[in-house]
Amino acid sequence: MDGSTGPTGHIDLDARDLAILEALQQDGQLTVADLSDRVGLSPSACHRRVKALERAGVIDRYVAVLNPRAMGRKTFPVWLDVNLSSQNAQAQTAFEDKVAEIPEIRLCHFVGGTTDYLLKVEVDDAEAFDRLHREQLSELPGVERIVSKVLIREIFNRPGVPIEVASTQG
């Protein structure tokens, strides 16, 4: 990475940068030595690139992905399609501000199509979801309709950004 920006204002990433990003998406705790071995760089060159990617905001943060079952917690994910009665900015802001206060809501997206918002809720069980729905979700400002979709089985979950390292190497 030379730090230059491309025509769209983003940082130009070369194949080694992409390899670093792919490796760190898989394991954010890799040591610089292990990471440098994986991507074929010296540890100092690898460290410089990682720091440059962090400074550029390409690497936003490092997080731990928790396994609720290993923590002895049940998990009952529910996806919600939410429609508001009004599409004006005030209604959207009121809804978004209130949704942000509910810790069980783990994801909120404003989307196009027949639904206004897509939310992901994580609770312990159906009883906890029922309580959350009655006490909080149904009281959200401006909500006209909520359609709940209970997750039966997760097939896969790909966190991060898709990176095609091979296609960028010449």
Q: In what order do the strands lie in the sheet with 105-110?
A: 105-110, 117-123, 76-84, 143-150
pLDDT surpasses 70 at 167: no
- Helices 15-26, 32-39: axis angle to 10 degrees equals 130
- Residue 161 in domain: no
Do 90 and 57 sit in the same domain of this protein? no
Range of the domain at 82: 76-150
Q: Domain with 103 in it: what CATH number?
A: 3.30.70.920
Please tell me the number of Cα atoms within 13 Å of 125 on its side-chain side. Answer: 3
Do 18 and 82 sit in the same domain of this protein? no
Q: Domain with 8 in it: what CATH number?
A: 1.10.10.10
Nearest one of 50, 141, 65 to 98, comparing CA atoms = 141
Which residues touch 69 (CB under 8 Å, ≥6 apart)?
Answer: 75
pLDDT surpasses 90 at 126: yes
In this prediction the pTM is 0.76
Nearest one of 170, 169, 144, 150 to 15, comparing CA atoms = 169
Last residue of a domain, one of 65, 91, 111: 65
- 50-66: per-residue pLDDT in tens? 999 999 999 999 998 88
What is the tally of structural domains in the chain? 2
Do 24 and 87 sit in the same domain of this protein? no
- Residue 70 in domain: no
Over its C-alpha atoms, the chain yields an Rg (Å, rounded) of: 21
